[in-house]
Structure 1
Amino acid sequence: MRITKFFAVAALCVLVTACSSNDEKELTDKPEQEIYEEALEALELDNFAIAIEKLQLLEARYPFGRYSEQAQLELTYAYFKNHEPEAARASADRFIRLHPNHDNIDYAYYLKGLTAFEQDRAFFMKYLPIDESKRDPGAALDGFESFRTLLRLYPNSEYAPDARKRMIHLKNRLATYEVHVAHYYIQRGAYLAAANRGRYVIENLQETPAVPAALAAMVEAYTLLNEPALANDAMAVLKANYPTYQYRPVKQPEKTLLDAATFDLFRGTPEVEPPQVNTLSDDEVQRERSWLNRLSFGLLGDDGEEEAETEK
């Protein structure tokens, strides 16, 4: 009985091995064009995993075939659509290195930038209220550099218009991140580093919405560094170019036990306030948070108080 079972298992193993060998032989014996057409069909059906498998087989079986170069581009696209950014960028870099004079090399640069762009806008970030300015901008910077290289080398490429639009978004993203870091440094007392971050935005990321905030950060940082001349210069530029910008100091005094116990009811103003542009007057600040609002710990807001005054 035991001998019978042994032979049965052995026969089954031989059968499976034979089938596997036949399948592998069938795959490797397929003509190059047939494999390529199957890969394209999988791409059209959005079956990117199968497309990747076919394109990898094509590259391994026919590395110097008539479809090998185009298959490498298709493989980069398949990686991108299959949410494999690292593999997509590596594939694009490899194509650029091996085929620097290829007719479609601009597409490789575009795919590389597009991969980084979408990686920066990760899937779950699109649907969650997360401030992207506080996230690491590494992917955004990679995408920006790839698009910039594309525009520099191939300004007339069919992908250039879309690359320019995406660069605007990435430039704004990078500038906003720099301002966020400058505010962080101000709050931590690293005023020189904060001023340098603001200056970086002014010098390298001009024409972005973050420029006035960067100037304001420079004003506050230089004021806290006791550099009035530099602070006044930054303030003059801010006033001249953004006269309606409303600035609020970033630096806040450290909380005391009394502040924590009274929910900031008696918390003082910042020890050092930089020059301000179009700031609220004392009366407006008082109206912004009245004593009734403070004494009631926010339970009775200013809207109710204004309605009561209107009724009077």
Structure 2
Amino acid sequence: MKTNHSLKVLSVAMLAGTLALSGCSTLKSIVGKKDNKITISAEQSELSYYEQAQAALEKGNYHEAIKTLGDARTFYPTGTHAQQALLDLIYAQYQAGDYEAVSNSTAEFLRLYPTSRHLDYVLYVQGVTHMGGSPKASRLFKLDQSQRDVSWLQLAFNNFQVLVNNFPNSNYAPDAAQRMIAIYNDLAEHEMVAARWYVKRDAYVAAVNRAKWVFQYYPQSESTPEAIAVLAYSYDKLGMTTTAEQYKTLLQINYPSYLNADGSVKLPNQKSTSFTKRLLNTVTLHKFDKKADTQGVVSSYNGQTRNQVIHQAGGLPPLPSQPAEMDDSKEHMSMPIQEKRRHIGLSLPDQQ
């Protein structure tokens, strides 16, 4: 795995357009006529702004910290504490629930500091933010992740995948890996929600399309057995006996519980389940102690060691390049091809 901090897999767009800002303590703006100048001067030194922001963070006054850090970055954009101020700003914005600002700030950090040793942290926070859904919409509702717009989950998966692949030794890698696995399962479940709906309405071609997407693109998901069962059942209903028998054979070998004694397919009476919701119900996002940069909290230990869960996530295939919004009315019957950081998260024990 790659470990250099250049993050070659980050898009060129993230790395391009670094702002050439001047590090001065006075800003001048022209308003109206050329001879009318308004000079906005820094009221404090960079260090004073930064220390004031730290005091606000310690007290949990996140809105005050956001304002002070914003002033520090405005008046001292290339100062000694510029990078750290942006890291603290990201943390304060997250704690204040301003997720749209978090998305903007993490993107800005990736653009301004493409070789920073804190890229793993920024990718992690960006992924956690995307995992919550639209900054202004879905957070207002307690929706099953697998039944809402999954585009945000796809963004989060990509953030975590870059982190795990490039920073496998990061303190955030185990948590990111668990989130990747949960998201992967939710994306597959998203298709199965539609497949079940079509089966109930005898729309078997559409059910085949959805189940086949899971079988092809999410073969390591927990939805795969049910997807094979839906394929076998639907092809049988469509009168495509030979194809149905091929999927029944797969069930007999790998998932015999999905077959009845007479060889017919037994579809589970299953309701949608959100794997990310299950994971997040056990995760408490919090700030680690400032002096304990390497400590974490185990909040959903499932028997896997740190190395095992990272290896499992690293083995997940890339997400399909196109969304799974296919035309379900059309037949598609071919057989499928087989410095410090404000911490948010959890960790797993080292390999035993």
Q: Distance in 1 between matches of 2:259 and 2:46?
A: 65
* Separation (CA, whole Å) in 1 of partners of 2:157 and 2:82: 29
Is the CA contact 2:53–2:65 (under 8 Å) kept in the aligned structure 1? yes
2:265 to 271, 276, 283: 276
Structure 1 unaligned residues grouped into runs of 5+: 1-23, 248-273, 280-312
**1:264 counterpart residue number:** none
- Residues 219, 275 of structure 1: 8 Å contact kept: no
Corresponding letter in the other structure for 2:58: E
Question: Whole-Å Cα distance in 2 between the matches of residues 84 and 234 of structure 1?
Answer: 48
Determine what percentage of the aligned residue pairs are the same residue.
34
TM-score, normalised to structure 2's length? 0.58
Matches within 5 A, 1:163-312: 163-187=176-200, 190-245=203-258, 275-277=264-266
For 1:176, give the aligned amino acid.
E
Write the deviation string for residues 92-135 of structure 1: whole angstroms up to 9, x where unpaired. Answer: 1121122111111111111101112244894752xxxx544322
| Matching residue of 1:75 | 89
Which protein has the bigger helix share?
1
Aligned in 2, Cα 1:243/1:67: closer, same or farther, shift over 3 Å?
Answer: same
Indicate whether 1:48 and 2:37 are aligned: no
- Does the 8 A contact of 2:252 with 2:259 survive in 1? no
Using CA pairs under 8 Å that are at least 6 residues apart, name the structure with larger relative contact order, 1 or 2. Answer: 2
In structure 2, the partner of 1:85 is 99
In the alignment, which residue of structure 1 is the partner of 2:111? 97
What amino acid is the match of 2:121? Y
Query: Equivalents in 2 of 1:237, 1:58: separation in Å?
Result: 62
Letter in 1 for 2:181: I
Alignment gaps of 5+ in structure 2:
1-38, 269-352
Cα offsets for 1:199-233 (capped at 9, x unmatched): 22223323332222211222233234432222222
SS where residue 92 of structure 2 aligns?
helix
Number of aligned residue pairs:
225
Q: Does 1:117 align with 2:117?
A: no
TM-score, length-normalised on structure 1? 0.64
